[in-house]
Amino acid sequence: MRRRANDRERRIGALLRERDIAYESQTHVSFACLDGAKKRAFADFTIYSTACIVVLEVDQYQHEGEGYTVLCDCKRMVDVRSAMLAAGNTQPLLWVRYNPDRFSIDGQRVRVPKARREQQLMALIQRALSGEMPQQDFGIAYMYYNTDAEGQPLILQDERYPPELAKSCLISVAD
């Protein structure tokens, strides 16, 4: 059953349309060819270009809270990539994890205006789609997630975050 988009997702969809960025919303990714309990996933936004595929997730409150676990989010990212590869799609994939809510840097709460956050998000997507970002088979960008003093997302320090996947973290944006 498909989940309905919330207000924050609708806002991001409107921003993508304003910038003439074509996207699929709630993209169905089948896990039929993968072993596991999950049968599918739905990506908030999927954007295709000749340079790469961008999967954009609007992660309210950094996906902290009931129903979300670090390990489940990590497994979902890996499973989506595996399903795409199994379906013959070998383009580089950039997974953008965008948090529209509060976050901190080195334990201090930071306020970044919504307009600035959205400007940074659209700029990152444009760089990825134009091939300006370093291309690797699979990359993750965390935007406005809690970070340490050096700018590393704290989620990468969680003991449940697979070290192999942490190597795919290309960028963290918090300004």
CB 145 within 8 A of CB 153: yes
Residue 143 is assigned to a structural domain of this protein: yes
**What helix, strand, coil percent values describe the chain, rounded to 5?**
35, 25, 40
Q: CA–CA separation, 40 vs 28, rounded Å?
A: 7
Residue 137 is assigned to a structural domain of this protein: yes
- CA separation (Å) from 89 to 3, 31, 132? 25, 14, 21
Residue 1 is assigned to a structural domain of this protein: no
Say what the pTM is. Answer: 0.90
CB 70 within 8 A of CB 160: yes
Rg over alpha carbons for the chain, rounded to the nearest Å, is 15
Residue 53 is assigned to a structural domain of this protein: yes
Q: CA–CA separation, 20 vs 62, rounded Å?
A: 27
Beta bridge partners of 94: 54, 139
The first and second tokens of residue 108, run together, are 């201090």
How confident is the model over 125-167, as pLDDT tens digits?
Answer: 999 999 987 678 999 999 999 999 999 999 999 999 999 999 9
Tell me the average pLDDT of the chain.
88
Residue 78 is assigned to a structural domain of this protein: yes
- CA separation (Å) from 21 to 17, 30, 107, 129, 142? 6, 24, 35, 10, 20
Q: What is the pLDDT of residue 37?
A: 60
Residue 68 is assigned to a structural domain of this protein: yes
CATH number for the domain harbouring residue 125: 3.40.960
* Residue whose C-alpha is closest to residue 153's, from 99, 92, 81: 99
CB 103 within 8 A of CB 145: yes
Residue 2 is assigned to a structural domain of this protein: no
The residue range of the domain holding 26 is 7-173
Tell me how many domains the chain contains: 1
Residue 132 is assigned to a structural domain of this protein: yes
How confident is the model over 73-114, as pLDDT tens digits?
Answer: 898 888 888 888 888 889 999 999 999 999 999 999 999 999
